[in-house]
Amino acid sequence: MTTRVSSRATAPLLTLALAQVLALTSASPANAQGRLTGATAASAGIIVEAVSFGRGMDQATAGNVESSIKSVSQWLIPVSAAVPLSETWAIDVGITVSHGQVKFESPPANITGNTVSLGGMSDVRVRLNGRLLDNLLLTIGGNAPTGSKELTNEETAALGVLAAPALGIYLPPVSLGPSGTAGLVYSRQIGDWGWAAGASYEMRGQFSPIAALAAGLPSPEFDPGSALHLSLGTEGVVGRNALGITLTTDMYTDERLMPGGAATAGSAATVQLGPTIGAEVQYKIAAESFRDLTVYVSELHRGSFDRDGSPVAGSSANYLYGGVRAVRPLSPQLDLTGNVDAWWHSGLSVDNSLVTSAATSGAATVGLSRRFGIYALEPFVRGRVGSLNSGVGTGQFTGITGGLTLAARF
């Protein structure tokens, strides 16, 4: 048996465009009239990560299929490139190859063996951005569905663990399906503060199973609708330091849920995901010994979803993140990088899987950035610990991630 799936981007393209506009509007007027796109850049790397649940973490997926998870491991090879097309236009492309493996202490009844895996190539993601006017930025994004589109029961079981946001690992390579996003961001300088407001519209070819799992929906089979993303941000000087604030909201049209993969009109249900509302604050501290020292915190609220016009209890959630990011120069060509962060998820009581578990977690990352002319070599290692409550079981996890990235800018 196979399940047809797809995935939408975890972060709207508008957010990236908004961050770029804020950087421009907080610069001097002369710099703001310069190149929007910068130099050609390319990067490739390898990331290896592993998570252990000790004696096991109990969960129950759709249909009350119970299992106990022992460990998770994954490797990834991300590749990306950004190329300026003119003084004000640029295009960037990204793709990832990965392979993840989940080991069960007690596997689900619908799979054979204690180990399941999910791997392959992700979709090709393309984004074009440029300035239409001095204060108006256009972003157009597309997704070529080159990733996995059909999953076996074993691969679906692996996805249900690898996609858990509480673990803080990279997402598996399921396909986004053919989809596209177009957005506009308007920016304006008011005194020492840069302001930007934007809107983007997303047309989704197939609904994301990762988003479906995270929302606590009983099936990843969807006839998807569209999404509207809105953002408002500001960045300015506070004494010797800088403060940035971004507000976002996502709104969705009706979806058609096909329980158990049935595509008949009689079995389909109308589902509308609740709006998500987010806020992020970044405070950049001017410290002589650091190239970058930033304290950040963000909150995301996921509204409950409706099914056939009725709200579904236990389908809303809150996600709180915070941390400190630092870059300290050791020499003109060598930087020490570090990050300490923590996150808290309320969990969704509508489901008892790992993806919707309540979680309290923390992580610490240490890395280096060594520049060789146009090249930069960036190794890092990250450790994390946390506790989870799936609704049918509680447990702790520990994880470690290591990676190496080679980047070039010319």
pLDDT at residue 146, rounded to an integer = 79
> Residue 292's pLDDT band (boundaries 50, 70, 90)?
very high
Least confident of 136-150, 168-182, 264-278, 358-372: 264-278
Structure confidence at residue 332 (pLDDT): 94
Q: Which of 138, 161, 159, 141 is nearest to 150 (CA)?
A: 159
- Concatenated DSSP letters for 111-122? SSSSEEEEEEE-
In 3D space, the residue among 205, 229, 218, 226 whose CA is nearest the CA of residue 258 turns out to be 218
- Arithmetic mean of pLDDT over the chain: 83
Per-residue pLDDT at 383: 96
Q: Which of 107, 104, 96 is nearest to 46 (CA)?
A: 96
For residue 24, what pLDDT is reported?
41
73: CB partners within 8 A, 6+ apart: 48, 49, 50, 51, 100, 101
Handedness of CA 280, 323, 21, 203 (dihedral sign): negative
pLDDT band at 110 (very low <50, low <70, confident <90, very high): confident
Residue 264 pLDDT greater than 70, yes or no? no
> In the chain, what percentage of residues exceed pLDDT 90?
47
| Rounded average pLDDT over 238-263 | 78
Count of CA atoms in the C-beta half-sphere (13 A) of 256: 11
At 63 the pLDDT is 64
Q: Which of 9-13, 52-56, 75-79 has the lowest mean pLDDT?
A: 9-13
Percent of the chain having pLDDT more than 70?
81
Residue bearing the bigger pLDDT, 169 or 365: 365
pLDDT exceeds 50 at position 3: no
Mean pLDDT on 336-346:
96
Q: Which one has a higher pLDDT value, 255 or 75?
A: 75
pLDDT at 34 over 50: no
Q: Could you tell me which of 138, 9, 157 has the C-alpha nearest to residue 69? A: 157
Question: Do residues 47 and 403 touch, judged by C-beta distance below 8 A?
Answer: yes
Evaluate whether 23 touches 394 at the Cβ level (below 8 Å).
no
Whether residue 229 contacts residue 207, with contact meaning beta carbons closer than 8 Å, is answered with no
Model confidence band, residue 253 (pLDDT cutoffs 50, 70, 90): confident
Q: What is the pLDDT of residue 194?
A: 87
Lowest mean pLDDT among 76-80, 310-314, 359-363: 310-314
Better pLDDT: 107 or 205: 107
Whether pLDDT at 200 is above 60: yes
Asked if residue 107 has pLDDT above 50, the reply is yes
127-131, 207-211, 372-376, 389-393: least confident range: 207-211
End-to-end CA distance of the chain: 49
For residue 215, what pLDDT is reported?
58
What CATH architecture is 2-409? Answer: Beta Barrel (2.40)
Identify the pLDDT of residue 7.
34
pLDDT confidence bin for 262, thresholds 50/70/90: very low
Distance from C-alpha of 194 to C-alpha of 188, rounded to nearest angstrom: 6
Q: What is the mean pLDDT of residues 6-34?
A: 42
- The CA distance from 307 to 312, in Å, is 7
**Distance of CA 306 to CAs 207, 274, 312, Å?**
16, 7, 6
Express each pLDDT in 359-409 by its tens digit.
999 999 999 999 999 999 999 999 999 999 998 889 999 999 999 999 999
Q: What's the confidence (pLDDT) of residue 16? A: 47
What CA–CA distance (Å, rounded) separates 149 from 308? 27
- Split at pLDDT 50, 70, 90, the class of 134 is confident
Q: What is the pLDDT at residue 212?
A: 60
Answer whether residue 2 shows pLDDT above 60.
Answer: no
Of 168-177, 289-298, 311-320, 400-409, the one with minimum mean pLDDT is: 168-177
Residue 265, pLDDT > 50, answer no
Break the chain into its structural domains and give their ranges. 2-409
